[in-house]
A and B are shown apart, each in its own frame.
Chain A
């Protein structure tokens, strides 16, 4: 039992899902669902279809090169079962996936942080330029901070007796 990767979108194909297509040159194409299958039949290039992993990797949206990828490699030679090794591997796999996940997340964050910085500078500039829309210049002269002007509220309250404070 093996979990395969969908040829089009690169998601894992669990048992009982999807379709395999064997071409005349004996190349096998596996698809996770009919969406990918139909896209393939339309001869679409997954590298140009935005939602596939192939596109994302090609355009640098997702992490491409990392040492965590080397842990998972398909070996074609059968190996004799070894309980000790298998236990070790089962312990190692969650750790590896965790590291991989954090690294991927960081990659995306780094990618998006540039936009954040840009947005921040833009906001600041906008604030500085257009503050006159909400704050009169004379008020700005007095109070140079780029915030909304303080509102003067007239409060009318009735004369109250000095009631002794309740203890």
Chain B
């Protein structure tokens, strides 16, 4: 819908562009290849499709153009008039008509050529027909090229038109050129209209919005109007005239009382009277601007008279209802430079237009429908109880105070003020603890302990904690007394140190036995079982036996004697003279025999000791043992020794290791590895 949003009209392509677009689209979106040899039907269809496609596209595009542009009859007369003023209605209509004609022509062409193509017999003929069809369509478009350009131009301009809502509350500003309309506009709205000292700065309508009493008002700034006959007016002036004519708004006629715009008050008054027909049924206000240059009371008599005339005119437009302060409602004096009177003018204008609109609405038929629907509900009184207004006493006090001493506004000292006093934001830090409510004010600055010795203090908080702790300590004391008694019981049964020693010795002995046993067990297979007398390690010596026996607490001397007397070295010795058998030296023998374990005998004569306490050397051949001579025995002994010799596993360099024949054997220093790097050799 063309709801005054001319910005949404699609771009109108130029003739050439349009042709290019459609033809390239045809090329892309229709099949491109056809063979001479395929059936005629296929060829015909191929070309017919192309022609149809092109025709449709052209039609669509042109239809779009026609539809997008607003129909001047269908839109608000203000806009239609404005468009007429700007673009000339006839020209506009003509352009659109041309486009329409072109569209029809193109569709005709398309249908004609499709009909012809139905009877095309060869590929060449069909192709020629297609070319002709498309060519004619393009020529048509070329023909409307200027119209399309014009429409594009119009569209661009329309898009930039201010979006004026004809149905909204509007205030129109009009007057001679350079009187200060745009500056007033800038003052009351956020529109940034150009204000310059030369005339005709504003060349078109400008819209701004302003608020009054929570309602939005449109403010329209117009270009200046000159006092000319209607027919001689140019487009710019016609804009403002159109606006005046069609928009139902409040009109502010600006008057430059100082004459600095270049027009005297008389000229302006003349203008006023010439266009006053346009002010019918519109709330009119006369605004005298630039009073800083020319105050009102300093006006000449004639000027004053002229102004009064205008005022009288304006007062005629005063609505029936608004007859309060007639002067205030119609004539305003202000200066946009000093902002004097600007807001009063605006406010009054707003009020007047609103009043005017409400009146109209009330008079129209539609309001009756609405009125029926309005209903103000009043709550029914429940009982006769009086319920007066309730105002808290503090508020009443404050009101009374405000009335009495208006200057004494008690300002509470804010924290911010305190901060500023004490050195500003970086220097002073507000005390957050100031307003703490505690049992005693001294405690406000205390640092509250939270953690002690790995406990949270807050977990222990209790008002009677000390009493409980005392009780606990009492309990503990009692308990400890009981515990002490138990301990003494347990500790009484301990072993004496000598017994402990004995126990340790026992354990050690046991361990040793176990270890020996383990060794025996593990070496049982490989250990030779040698009878004790061939004791190579000298394990079974009498000294050792003596030690062990004395360790057990026994006296070993007798045992040692016995062992020695039975030893190998004694083999072959004659039985020594025992006392009872020989009978020599009884007395002396007897004496000695008293000592129990003493086998030492006192001899009457000395006997040469051939081998006292010595064993035969190993190599000595003892008859009956299996060796024929010494040599054999020696050899046998050597062999035996060699077999038991433990292999040296020390891995120390031996005789065989002194010489390394090959320092770098090839197999270690060459060759690639099957897997992995060869960075180490």
Residue positions of A touching B, CB distance < 8 A: 1-3, 12, 67-68, 71-75, 79-83, 85-86, 88-97, 99, 102-103, 106, 113, 116-117, 120, 123-124, 126-127, 130-131, 133-136, 138-139, 145-152
Knowing that A2-B458, A91-B466 touch, tell me 11 more A-B residue pairs with CB under 8 angstroms. Answer: A2-B456, A80-B439, A81-B436, A93-B453, A96-B460, A126-B506, A127-B499, A134-B505, A134-B506, A148-B498, A149-B551
- Minimum Cβ distance to chain A for residue B432 (Å): 14
Cβ-defined partner of A139 (8 Å) among B451, B483, B493, B552 = B552
Nearest neighbor of A79 in chain B, beta-carbon distance: B461
Question: Quick check: B457 and A89 within 8 Å, CB to CB?
Answer: yes
- Minimum Cβ distance to chain A for residue B469 (Å): 5
Residue positions of B touching A, CB distance < 8 A: 436-440, 442-443, 446, 448-463, 465-466, 468-469, 472-473, 475-476, 479-480, 483, 490, 493-496, 498-499, 501-503, 505-507, 509-510, 549-555
Question: Quick check: A86 and B505 within 8 Å, CB to CB?
Answer: no
In the assembled complex, the Cα of A68 lies from the Cα of B473 at a distance in Å of 10
Cβ-defined partner of A120 (8 Å) among B455, B472, B494 = B494
Question: Quick check: B554 and A138 within 8 Å, CB to CB?
Answer: yes
Question: Quick check: B553 and A139 within 8 Å, CB to CB?
Answer: yes
In the assembled complex, the Cα of A83 lies from the Cα of B506 at a distance in Å of 67
Nearest neighbor of A113 in chain B, beta-carbon distance: B490
Question: Quick check: B469 and A96 within 8 Å, CB to CB?
Answer: yes
- Minimum Cβ distance to chain B for residue A32 (Å): 12
Cβ-defined partner of B465 (8 Å) among A88, A133, A148, A151 = A88
In the assembled complex, the Cα of A116 lies from the Cα of B489 at a distance in Å of 12
From B462, B501, B549, residue with most partner A Cβ within 10 Å: B462
Residues on A with beta carbons closer than 8 Å to the beta carbon of B439: 80, 82
In the assembled complex, the Cα of A32 lies from the Cα of B476 at a distance in Å of 33
Question: Quick check: B510 and A133 within 8 Å, CB to CB?
Answer: yes
Question: Quick check: B503 and A71 within 8 Å, CB to CB?
Answer: no
What secondary structure prevails in chain A residues at the interface with B? helix
In the assembled complex, the Cα of A135 lies from the Cα of B505 at a distance in Å of 10
Nearest neighbor of A130 in chain B, beta-carbon distance: B506
Question: Quick check: A130 and B461 within 8 Å, CB to CB?
Answer: no
20 contacts between A and B (CB under 8 A): A2-B450, A12-B454, A71-B468, A82-B443, A83-B442, A86-B449, A89-B457, A89-B465, A91-B466, A94-B453, A96-B460, A99-B476, A113-B490, A120-B494, A124-B495, A133-B505, A135-B553, A149-B551, A151-B550, A151-B553
What secondary structure prevails in chain B residues at the interface with A? helix
- Minimum Cβ distance to chain A for residue B435 (Å): 14
Question: Quick check: B502 and A148 within 8 Å, CB to CB?
Answer: yes
Nearest neighbor of A86 in chain B, beta-carbon distance: B449
Indicate whether A106 sits within 8 Å of B455 (C-beta atoms), given known contacts A68-B472, A113-B490, A134-B552. Answer: no
Indicate whether A136 sits within 8 Å of B459 (C-beta atoms), given known contacts A80-B438, A126-B506, A148-B498. Answer: no
In the assembled complex, the Cα of A80 lies from the Cα of B454 at a distance in Å of 22
Question: Quick check: B468 and A88 within 8 Å, CB to CB?
Answer: no
Residues on A with beta carbons closer than 8 Å to the beta carbon of B443: 81-83
In the assembled complex, the Cα of A2 lies from the Cα of B451 at a distance in Å of 7
Residues on B with beta carbons closer than 8 Å to the beta carbon of A123: 495, 503
Nearest neighbor of A121 in chain B, beta-carbon distance: B493
In the assembled complex, the Cα of A158 lies from the Cα of B553 at a distance in Å of 27
Question: Quick check: B466 and A135 within 8 Å, CB to CB?
Answer: no
In the assembled complex, the Cα of A134 lies from the Cα of B507 at a distance in Å of 10
Residues on B with beta carbons closer than 8 Å to the beta carbon of A138: 554
Question: Quick check: A89 and B462 within 8 Å, CB to CB?
Answer: yes
Nearest neighbor of A84 in chain B, beta-carbon distance: B439
Cβ-defined partner of B455 (8 Å) among A72, A116, A130, A148 = A72
In the assembled complex, the Cα of A147 lies from the Cα of B503 at a distance in Å of 8
Residues on A with beta carbons closer than 8 Å to the beta carbon of B452: 90, 93
- Minimum Cβ distance to chain A for residue B473 (Å): 7
In the assembled complex, the Cα of A75 lies from the Cα of B456 at a distance in Å of 11
Question: Quick check: B499 and A130 within 8 Å, CB to CB?
Answer: no
Residues on A with beta carbons closer than 8 Å to the beta carbon of B501: 147-148
Nearest neighbor of B446 in chain A, beta-carbon distance: A83
Residues on B with beta carbons closer than 8 Å to the beta carbon of A88: 465-466
Question: Quick check: B465 and A127 within 8 Å, CB to CB?
Answer: no
Nearest neighbor of A70 in chain B, beta-carbon distance: B468
Indicate whether A72 sits within 8 Å of B472 (C-beta atoms), given known contacts A82-B439, A134-B505, A147-B502. Answer: no
- Minimum Cβ distance to chain A for residue B188 (Å): 58
In the assembled complex, the Cα of A71 lies from the Cα of B550 at a distance in Å of 67
Residues on B with beta carbons closer than 8 Å to the beta carbon of A116: 490
Nearest neighbor of B472 in chain A, beta-carbon distance: A99
In the assembled complex, the Cα of A74 lies from the Cα of B440 at a distance in Å of 26
Question: Quick check: B509 and A133 within 8 Å, CB to CB?
Answer: yes
Question: Quick check: A81 and B453 within 8 Å, CB to CB?
Answer: no
Question: Quick check: A90 and B449 within 8 Å, CB to CB?
Answer: yes
In the assembled complex, the Cα of A109 lies from the Cα of B191 at a distance in Å of 93
Question: Quick check: A133 and B554 within 8 Å, CB to CB?
Answer: no
Nearest neighbor of A4 in chain B, beta-carbon distance: B456
In the assembled complex, the Cα of A95 lies from the Cα of B466 at a distance in Å of 10
- Minimum Cβ distance to chain B for residue A79 (Å): 6
In the assembled complex, the Cα of A138 lies from the Cα of B553 at a distance in Å of 9
